């Protein structure tokens, strides 16, 4: 494979959607000198795998997430942030380049955008070119072909990214079953002392991230540290003590566990990766719609929540270390996820859809001196919070923004917050442009001005739109519906989410030309948020007889 040369110093595509709506020391010595190190803010970017906003700071009264809640209390939190495609590699490449999937042309796991689409700059690359030491720990880019088997090195990182040595055990037989044997299960609470190497990937990532922070403490260069956590991605392999936080008798089912009557078959994802796990195979569930037993549904939800609390402790240890190293006063912290995860809603599990439950993600920014006062000499903003301390006080919720935003906004927002020049908006098309952005700069939300004095400062919320999309190989669910390879994509579901509704149209798609045919409509979905917040009542067919929202009419 011929790679493009490293890009020079810093100098959506709207095809579908416009038709819908209009070495370490060496690295320290050799970084570029584009930024003044004396006043530059560091960046800590925390990316979580498959985390929906099931967190205390998002109003979940069951989930114990005190450390993330504490971060939220000092941050600006976006209540309605959406990913552009609900699957790992496409979403990560999208928000790390600031381009939508129709621009990166990555809808699966099987291509590298620099060769397949365009030599697009990434967030860490931009910071690297502006004098930052850029470091990657854990799952930041999706590993494999989609990041050139190198996490986009050397373009994005000052030295080779770190991956935990125990990642290789995630999908192996390390889950002890009731028969006493080891299995490759979906539900996998473990005794950490008994697993290979006596540790888990996210623990290792936290330890490495803290080690890097300690080194950077004495560096004259600003740093950009991205830390990617695996949990709550399946398998739910986490320290078994976290199950105690979630007794099964306290676990409820999803509020809408049935497949909706009006759901087009093309919109349904058959959660094949879950079916491949040994404990799920033993249930002999029919494909594609066969429901999981109520008892096992509760166990899945229990393990997801337990995995979230385990993740929370790792975030807590990382942020506490940042505090201890006196870096909290000059480090911006961004926290997000690549996409959500269905926990039985609409009779679905996992991601692979356009529903809110799979596209909505947590997103928050801590900016020293802006979202919270600078910590005093002996003050700690992020002391570790024990999720097992059930008497701990509730956190101040911080400042919440209800406007709809998108993950493609991460690039311009981080650049702006750090004082770098915000990349320009992308032209259409932009395959030839190395540095541009397709997302909004969210900095305006951090100005903290009196909105009552200037009600137009943030614009009209009814004009805000979040775009998502998802590919399918066929009109009905089949074995590769969740993760079709590019060559097998026959249909693309383009979805827009506004403050009032979610509207999705499934249209013919030519994978050889990367073209959607909006004259070839296979199915549609329309859900009104106020009357149908769970998106269970599809009124698309009704809308074809005069009920289409005004903004969607031709």
pTM above 0.85, yes or no: yes
Cβ distance 546 to 516 under 8 Å?
A: no
Structure tokens of 20?
């819908």
88 among known catalytic residues: yes
Average pLDDT over residues 90-102: 98
Strand, helix or coil at 510?
Answer: strand
pLDDT at 522 over 80: yes
What is the distance between the alpha carbons of residues 25 and 172, in angstroms, rounded to a whole number?
36
Average pLDDT (312-319) is 98
What pLDDT digit, counting tens, does each position of 219-241 carry? Answer: 999 999 999 999 999 999 999 99
Quick one: average pLDDT of 469-482?
A: 98
Burial 187-225 (b: 16+ CB within 10 A, else e): bbbbeeeebeeeebbbbbbbbbbbebbeebeebebbbbb
List the one residue out of 321, 398, 393, 402 whose CA is nearest residue 367: 398
Label residue 459 by pLDDT band (50, 70, 90).
low
Q: What is the mean pLDDT of residues 406-431?
A: 97
**Residue 320: per-residue pLDDT:** 98
What percent of the chain is modeled with pLDDT above 90?
83
CATH architecture, domain 43-449: 3-Layer(aba) Sandwich (3.40)
Please say if the pLDDT value at position 457 is more than 80.
no
What are 117-161's pLDDT values in tens digits?
999 999 999 999 999 999 999 999 999 999 999 999 999 999 999
The predicted structure's pLDDT at residue 392? 73
**Residue 22: partners with Cβ closer than 8 Å, 6 or more residues away:** none
* Active-site residue, selected from the candidate residues 57, 74, 88, 175: 88
- The domain ranges of the chain are 43-449
Over residues 339-371, the pLDDT tens digits come to 999 999 999 999 999 999 999 999 999 999 999
pLDDT by residue (tens digit) across 206-217?
A: 999 999 999 999
Please report the pLDDT score of residue 21 as a whole number: 41
Which uninterrupted H or E stretch holds 48?
A: strand 42-48
Q: Helices then strands (H, E): number in the chain?
A: 14, 17
Annotation marks residue 142 as catalytic: yes
Q: Which of 74, 142, 230, 445 is catalytic?
A: 142
Among 346, 366, 428, smallest CA distance to 18 is for 428
What is the average pLDDT value for the chain, to the nearest integer? 90
Quickly state the pLDDT bin for 69 (edges 50, 70, 90).
very high
pLDDT: which is higher, 446 or 351: 351
């Amino acid at each position: 494979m011929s790679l493009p040369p490293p890009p020079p110093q810093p100098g959506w595509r709207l095809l579908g959607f416009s038709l819908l709506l209009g070495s370490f020391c060496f690295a320290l010595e050799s970084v570029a000198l584009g930024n003044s190190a004396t006043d530059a803010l560091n960046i800590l970017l925390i990316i979580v795998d498959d985390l929906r906003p099931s967190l205390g700071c998002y109003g979940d009264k069951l989930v114990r997430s005190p450390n993330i809640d504490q971060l939220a209390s000092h941050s600006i939190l976006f209540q309605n942030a959406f990913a552009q495609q609900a699957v790992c590699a496409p979403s990560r490449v999208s928000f790390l380049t600031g381009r939508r999937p129709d621009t990166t042309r990555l809808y699966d796991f099987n291509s590298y955008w620099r060769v397949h689409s365009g030599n697009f700059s990434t967030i860490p690359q931009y910071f690297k070119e502006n004098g930052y030491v850029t470091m990657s720990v854990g799952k930041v880019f999706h590993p494999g072909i989609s990041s050139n088997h190198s996490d986009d090195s050397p373009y994005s990182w000052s030295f080779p990214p770190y991956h935990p040595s125990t990642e290789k055990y995630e999908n192996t037989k390390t889950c002890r079953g009731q028969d006493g044997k080891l299995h490759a299960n979906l539900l996998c609470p473990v005794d950490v002392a008994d697993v290979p190497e006596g540790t888990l990937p996210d623990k290792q990532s936290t330890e490495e991230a803290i080690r890097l922070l300690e080194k950077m403490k004495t560096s004259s260069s600003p740093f950009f540290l991205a830390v990617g956590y695996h949990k709550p991605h399946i398998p739910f392999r986490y320290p078994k003590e976290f199950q105690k936080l979630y007794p099964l008798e306290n676990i409820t089912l999803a509020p809408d566990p049935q497949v909706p009557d009006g759901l087009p078959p093309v919109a349904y994802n058959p959660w094949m990766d879950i079916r491949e796990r040994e404990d799920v195979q033993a249930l002999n569930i029919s494909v594609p719609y066969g429901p999981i037993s109520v008892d096992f549904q509760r166990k899945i939800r229990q393990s997801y929540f337990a995995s979230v609390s385990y993740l929370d402790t790792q975030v807590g240890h990382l942020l506490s270390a940042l505090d201890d190293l006196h870096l909290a006063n000059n480090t911006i912290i961004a926290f997000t996820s690549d996409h959500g995860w269905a926990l039985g809603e609409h009779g679905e599990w996992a991601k692979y859809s356009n529903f809110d439950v799979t596209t909505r993600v947590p997103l928050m920014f801590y900016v020293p001196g802006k979202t919270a006062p600078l910590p005093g000499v002996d003050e700690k903003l992020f002391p570790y919070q024990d999720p097992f301390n059930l008497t701990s006080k509730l956190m101040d919720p911080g400042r919440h923004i209800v406007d709809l935003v998108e993950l493609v906004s991460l690039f311009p927002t981080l650049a702006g917050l750090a004082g770098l020049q915000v990349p320009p908006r992308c032209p259409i098309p932009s395959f030839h442009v190395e540095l541009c952005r397709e997302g909004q700069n969210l900095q305006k939300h951090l100005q903290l001005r009196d909105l009552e004095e200037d009600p137009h400062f943030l614009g009209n919320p009814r004009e805000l739109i979040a775009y998502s999309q998802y590919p399918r190989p066929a009109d009905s669910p089949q074995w590769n519906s969740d993760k079709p390879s590019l060559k097998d994509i026959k249909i693309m579901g383009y979805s827009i989410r506004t403050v009032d509704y979610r509207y999705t149209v499934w249209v013919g798609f030519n994978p050889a030309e990367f073209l959607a045919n909006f004259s070839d409509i296979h199915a549609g979905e329309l859900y009104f948020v106020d009357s149908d917040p769970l998106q269970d009542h599809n009124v698309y067919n009704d809308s074809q007889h005069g009920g289409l929202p005004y903004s969607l009419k031709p």
